[in-house]
Amino acid sequence: MADKKQTKVKRILVANRGEIAVRIIRTCREMGIETVAVYSTADIDNLHVRLADKAVCIGPPPSSKSYLVMQNIIMAALHTHCEAVHPGVGFLSENASFARLVRDNGLIFIGPDPDVIELLGDKVKARQTAAKYGLPVTPGTGAVDSKDPKTIEEAKKLGFPVIIKAAAGGGGKGMRIVRKEEELAENISIASREAESNFADGTVFIEKYLENPRHVELQILADGNGNVAVLGERDCTVQKNHQKLIEESPSPGVTDKMRNAMAAGAVPMFKELKYRGAGTIEFLAEGENFYFMEVNARVQVEHPVSEYVAGVDIIRQQILACTQGKMEIDPNAVKLSGWSIECRINAHTPGTLTRLEIPGGPGVRFDSFLYNGCTVPPHYDSMIAKLIVYDVDRKHALAKMDRALRELVVEGIKTNIERQRWIINHPVFYNGVFGTSWYANIEKEVENGR
């Protein structure tokens, strides 16, 4: 069944939790759209539950018994007379089966068509699609088998080190770096098992491993009718175990020539796919060279930095594109200005907040589900907040971020606030010349606070 189309939806179910659920609910309220929150028993007092117009409990704390149970979410949407479902990030946001189930029940899925999600979710097929539109891809293979002797030969042709990746994966799961030929077969088996466990798909492939590239991504908004807007690029190079820590827009390592070349391949690709909603196309970059990595067919955690530099509410445009087939922005009139930086605030321990002080001032934004006295449960992702700043250039944005991190107080649980301050004040980060291996190389230095 195709998505139900109407001029304006009146009620949306938010199939997520935490800060992204709060973020979506706030924009919906500004648009005059009612919201329904879903929650596990661990999240009964979560801020998104308090802010929504209605809330439905969908199960016990483990996400496998609550936020990942598709039928429970659909029943909640139907029971509360919702017209659309917003999947947020993570959980079911890139699950084609969930998108189909939403549509089959007469609801609008706020995201791309299920077939598009399925195509882009398979990294092997996504690489082939990107290459079709002239985007350079990292040298690599198709799906591989550890028992196939051809696999060794293909890896040798690429040259070690290589990286094994899950075709259906993300977030560092099903990913192994291999530096020696004799370690390849065992690591393929390990990566495949990990991929099967996390994504119910054990398919893996091999790419040439780039030792210290930048991680850069383009923010895309599209209406499914041929209009595709590019809201500049984000730099997500500072990572720990393939998990992003700090993001900024624009990237200090991307030239106008690179930016234009990335967009020149991405725009026709998204047009041809009749892509709808928010999406991100990710690249690895070395010098002036860049290579397609993957597409995230959803809104990204780090979308606020693109909102700042483009002056666009991405969630609002995503909802309009998916419910009305149109956006309020002209793709040819997007103007980028200033510099924005986001620090992810992670909890190292669960617990109850005893004190929360949020920084303010011009160009400071705090996206979170935290409030004084709230409980951070142990069952979910460690990210509890995002601190975002905006200013005229990178130098001023860094000074503002340092000031905002100094003002931010979160007590009752352990966080990475001081570590984030250490990173943004590090001379290498300040100069903007670094790659994805930089943080790993200085982590011991960070731990010791030197």
| Alpha carbon of residue 446 to chain centroid | 25
* DSSP-derived secondary structure for 325-363: S--SS-GGG----SEEEEEEEEBSS-EE-SEEE---STT
Residues ≥6 apart with Cβ < 8 Å to 130: 137, 265, 269, 281, 292, 295
Write down the residue that tokens 């709230």 correspond to.
Answer: 374
- Give how far Cα 226 sits from Cα of 96, 147, 195, 292, Å: 22, 44, 34, 22
- Give how far Cα 448 sits from Cα of 198, 225, 419, 443, Å: 33, 53, 10, 9
Write down the residue that tokens 């998505």 correspond to.
Answer: 3
Task: Report the DSSP pairing between strands 34-40 and 162-166.
Answer: unpaired
Angle between helices 394-407 and 417-424 (to 10 degrees): 160
Tell me, yes or no, if 403 is annotated catalytic. Answer: no
* Angstrom distance (rounded) from CA 145 to CA 206: 10
* Angstrom distance (rounded) from CA 355 to CA 172: 33
DSSP 230: E
Asked if 417 and 410 count as a contact pair (C-beta separation under 8 A), the reply is yes
* Prior bond of 378 cis (ω within 30°): no
The catalytically annotated residue of 17, 103, 298, 316 is 298
Compute the chain's Rg from CA coordinates: 21
Task: Report the DSSP pairing between strands 84-86 and 108-109.
Answer: parallel
Asked if 175 and 164 count as a contact pair (C-beta separation under 8 A), the reply is yes
- Give how far Cα 289 sits from Cα of 94, 215, 231, 253, 282, Å: 29, 12, 21, 11, 14
By annotation, the residues acting in catalysis are 298
